[in-house]
Chain A
Amino acid sequence: GAGVSQSPSNKVTEKGKDVELRCDPISGHTALYWYRQSLGQGLEFLIYFQGNSAPDKSGLPSDRFSAERTGGSVSTLTIQRTQQEDSAVYLCASSLAPRSLQNGELFFGEGSRLTVL
């Protein structure tokens, strides 16, 4: 696609429910990132996918968070048993080249705003 696409743009859920957030990266981009931005806070790294390599899950805050990337393209971030502190904007980004090639301009989607009541 022309840009990184995320859905839904807004999600309101009740505490304890599971949610799925979707990211469709720019066509041909091999690297995909998920970040979280809480109100008034900086961007918090969650997970990184690069091609067929094992994902870097070092930023996931708890085992309630998981993500997958099917066919090297679309990614889904799943939050199980949501808590109020999960409320944030979840941002997805993709880049053309692996970070280690000293390239890899990062392009972001518009984000998915999650509100847990």
Chain B
Amino acid sequence: KQEVTQIPAALSVPEGENLVLNCSFTDSAIYNLQWFRQDPGKGLTSLLLIQSSQREQTSGRLNASLDKSSGRSTLYIAASQPGDSATYLCAVTWSTGNQFYFGTGTSLTVIP
């Protein structure tokens, strides 16, 4: 069964701290993995897309890594800010089926 898991469900950190969000997935034969953020009452905003042939992607203070063999991806956020407070979701697509499979997200609160 293809599943995506995100732990912890919630995380609270003081402003300025570096942090790591985790995403685990069954079956290493993925096509790609995408990280999103969702603000309350809003849609999902794409942060980073990692294709199966890539090991990491960077955008500003964000760095996402992919380790297919261990079925894991991490989203590293440097020098966290209160504006980073949101729910972060990862989504994986596999060779079978057409859908993106989503984790249930990590709710991040950055305390000023």
Q: For the complex, is B1 an interface residue (Cβ under 8 Å from A)?
A: no
Taking a contact as CB atoms under 8 Å apart, the answer to whether A99 and B46 are in contact is no
Say whether A48 faces chain B, with CB atoms less than 8 Å apart. Answer: yes
* A110 within 8 A of partner (CB): yes
User: A55-114: which have CB < 8 Å to B?
Assistant: 56, 58-59, 91, 93, 99-100, 102-111
Whether B43 pairs with A106 at a CB distance below 8 angstroms is no
Q: How far is the CA of A50 from the CA of B46 in the complex (A)?
A: 20
Question: Which residues of A pack against B, CB within 8 Å?
Answer: 4, 6, 33, 35, 41-43, 45, 48, 50, 56, 58-59, 91, 93, 99-100, 102-111
10 A-B pairs with C-beta separation under 8 A = A4-B43, A42-B103, A42-B105, A43-B91, A43-B102, A48-B98, A50-B98, A102-B32, A106-B46, A106-B100
By DSSP majority rule, is chain B's interface helix, strand, loop, or mixed?
strand
Do the beta carbons of B42 and A99 come within 8 Å of each other?
no
Of the candidates A45, A91, A99, A102, the one whose C-beta lies within 8 Å of that of B44 is A91
Are A48 and B32 within 8 A (Cβ)? Answer: no
CA of A11 to CA of B32, assembled, Å: 34
A59–B36 alpha-carbon span in the complex (Å): 21
Report the minimum CB–CB distance from A93 to chain B (whole Å).
8
Residues of B within 8 A of A93 (CB): 44
Whether the Cβ atoms of B44 and A108 lie closer than 8 Å is yes
Contact status A56-B104, CB under 8 Å: no
Establish whether residues B45 and A108, one from each chain, have CB atoms under 8 Å apart when the complex forms.
yes
By Cβ-Cβ distance, the 8 closest A-B pairs, closest first, are A45-B99, A108-B44, A43-B102, A108-B43, A42-B104, A110-B43, A48-B98, A105-B49
Q: With A50-B98, A56-B98, A91-B43 given, is the CB distance from A102 to B31 under 8 Å?
A: yes
CB distance from B33 to the nearest CB of A (A): 11
List chain B residues, Cβ under 8 A from A33: 99-100
Chain B positions 1-57 with a Cβ under 8 Å from a chain A Cβ: 31-32, 34, 36, 42-46, 49, 51-53
Cβ contact within 8 Å between B105 and A102: no
